[in-house]
Structure 1
Amino acid sequence: MDRLVYTAMTGAKHILEQQATVTHNLANVTTTGFRAQLDSFRAVPVKSDGLPTRAFVVDATVGTDFSTGGMQITGRELDVAVQGKGWLAVEMPDGSESFTRHGSLKISENGILQTQSGLNLVGDGGPITIPPDMAIAIAKDGTVSAIPSGTKPNAVQVIGRLKLVNPPEDNLVRGDDGLFKTKDGTAVDADPAVGVAGGMLENSNVNVVESMVNMINLARSFEMQMKVLQNAENNATKAGQILTLS
């Protein structure tokens, strides 16, 4: 009887945790460049001195859905969308590198090219500084060019190049801030094959319909686990009554 209770109890617990994952994905359906989190269930035997007759359920995090999202045209000169596989490299406050696909950029009060959250974009030689009174253009290879105001359009000044990387997806982990890092925390080399599209942003890759169906299925699974616990309680009550009669 306790084997049934143990399985149902752990199953219900991890269904709630997977519901939280689906809810988190749905909450970020409008977040630029967001990558959906994937979970799955697996059974693990309980190791003890007795026979391995018991098992419990764990929620195994498979990882992240790295498929690309749809492109949205914004026309803003500081918006870029990574085309295909690849990432924008950003500098963390501790000097390490993280990776994002959120290409909505801004220029800080000090003229540094940053993400909307205030992290510096990594360039070929460090942070990219934008001169004042300049019109900005970002090429497909990540080259950042500036045109002085009041001059001819052909007076283009190259001021830097975004560091575009494409580390192996199985070597990436998601941080609590939503940014990705390599498992060992080391920086990776720039990949010349990665390109960006200016004046565009990448939407989240969360499928709203699929997530809603998954949430309904999880709710039904939770109800099933609760019914299993109720049946186990009824069976225990009946067994106790029989023992009392005997």
Structure 2
Amino acid sequence: MDRFLYIAMSGAKETMHAQAINNHNLANANTDGFRQALATADTLPVRGPGHASRDYTQIGNDAVDFSKGKMQSTGRDMDIAIEGEGFIAVQGPDGEEGYTRAGSLHVDAFGLLRTAQGHQVLGDGGPIAIPPAEQIEIGTDGTISVRPLGVGPEALAAVERIRLVNPDTDELQRGDDGLFRLAEGGEAPADAEVRVVSGMLEGSNVNTVEALTRMIELSRHFEMQVKMMDSANTLEQSSNRLLGLG
């Protein structure tokens, strides 16, 4: 009975883990550039005496779905979206370089270019600083042009270029701050082929209908596994009573 109970318990544990990931995806369904997480699990045989007829569940490494989200027009010059593959390089809270597809940008009180999450946007020379300007434009290659205060509309000048990268997604892992980083450390090289479009934002790739359906399925799986644990306990008690009669 101990194997029966262990198998049911391992399944319930994996289901709770999958439910937590699914809930996290749902919570970020409206987060720009969010990539949903995928729960994975492996089946391993129960070792020991007896026939090799039972497998238990072991939680695997969480994966990420890098499929694209829907493009949404905002009409705002400081909003950008990656066309195709690629990421925007930013500085994470730990000071290390990270990557995101969330392109809602703004200039803070100190003139630093930041994402909506507060991460500093990086250029070739580090964090990008924008001088006081009446107009800011971002080109398809990430070049930032500004019209300084008090000058005519023809006086646009390029001041910096956003660092755009395109690392292999198999080499990326997501941190607790939501940014992607190279699993082996280091920084991805800039990629001149990555393009952005201004006045647009990329939404999350979470399908809320599928996520809600998944939530119901996982709840039913968990209930079934709890019933299996109750059955294992009942069988154990019955066996103890039978042995006690002897």
Do the structures match in fold with TM over 0.5? yes
SS of 1:122's equivalent in the other structure is strand
Kept in 2: contact 1:87–1:165 (CA 8 A): yes
CA contact (8 A) 1:124 1:163 kept: yes
Matched, 1:220 2:224: no
Pairing 1:195-206 to 2, within 5 Å after superposition: 195-206=195-206
Q: In 1, distance between residues paired with 2:152 and 2:83?
A: 30
Aligned residue for 2:187? Answer: 187
**Residue in structure 2 matched with residue 28 of structure 1 by the alignment:** 28
**How big is each residue's C-alpha offset from its partner over 1:205-238, in whole Å with a ceiling of 9 and x where there is no partner?**
1010111111111111111111211221222222
Structure-1 separation of matches of 2:222 and 2:184 = 37
Query: 1:201 deviation in Å?
Result: 0.9
Structure 1 counterpart of 2:143: 143
Q: Secondary structure at the match of 1:61?
A: coil
Residue in 2 aligned with 1:87? 87
Q: Distance in 2 between matches of 1:52 and 1:46?
A: 9
Secondary structure in 2 matching 1:56: strand
Q: In terms of mean alpha carbon deviation, does 139-148 or 25-34 score higher?
A: 139-148
Map Cα deviations across residues 25-82 of structure 1 (whole Å, 9 max, x no partner). 000001111110001222234567x679575322213410001100111111111111
Cα 1:52–1:81 change in 2 (3 A) is farther
Q: CA 1:240 to 1:89, structure 2 compared with 1: closer, same or farther past 3 Å? A: same
Cα offset for 1:22?
Answer: 0.4
Please name the residue that 1:14 is paired with: 14
Contact map agreement 1:6 1:55 (CA 8 A) in 2: no
* CA 226–94 in structure 1, closer or farther in 2 if over 3 Å, else same: closer
Alpha carbons of structure 1 residues 52 and 101: separation in structure 2 relative to 1, 3 Å:
farther
Distance 2:56 2:160 in 1: 54
Written as runs of structure 1 = structure 2, the 5 A alignment for 1:63-142 is 63-142=63-142
Which SS does the other structure have where 2:72 is aligned?
A: strand
Cα 1:207–1:137 shift into 2, 3 Å? same
Identity %, equivalent residues: 46
| Greater mean deviation of Cα atoms: 150-159 or 70-79 | 150-159
Structure 1 residues 235 and 93, CA, compared in 2 at 3 Å: closer, same or farther? closer
Q: Structure 2: 5+ residue runs without aligned partners?
A: none
Change (3 A) 1:173 1:27: same
CA RMSD across the alignment: 1.9
Matches of 1:103 and 1:169 in 2, distance apart? 19
- The code of the aligned residue for 2:105 comes to L
Deviation at 1:176, TM superposition (A): 0.4
Q: TM-score, normalised by structure 1?
A: 0.92
Alignment CA distance shift 1:46-1:239 (3 Å):
closer
Q: TM-score, normalised on structure 2?
A: 0.92
What amino acid sits opposite 1:238 in the alignment?
A: S
Give distance in 1, aligned partners of 2:230 and 2:55.
Answer: 19
Counterparts of 1:32-71 in structure 2, within 5 Å, are 32-45=32-45, 55-71=55-71
1:38–1:61: 8 Å Cα contact kept in structure 2?
A: no
Output one character per residue of 1:86-136: Cα deviation in whole Å (capped at 9) or x when no partner: 100012355421001111111122211112233221112222221113300
Match of 1:178 in 2: 178
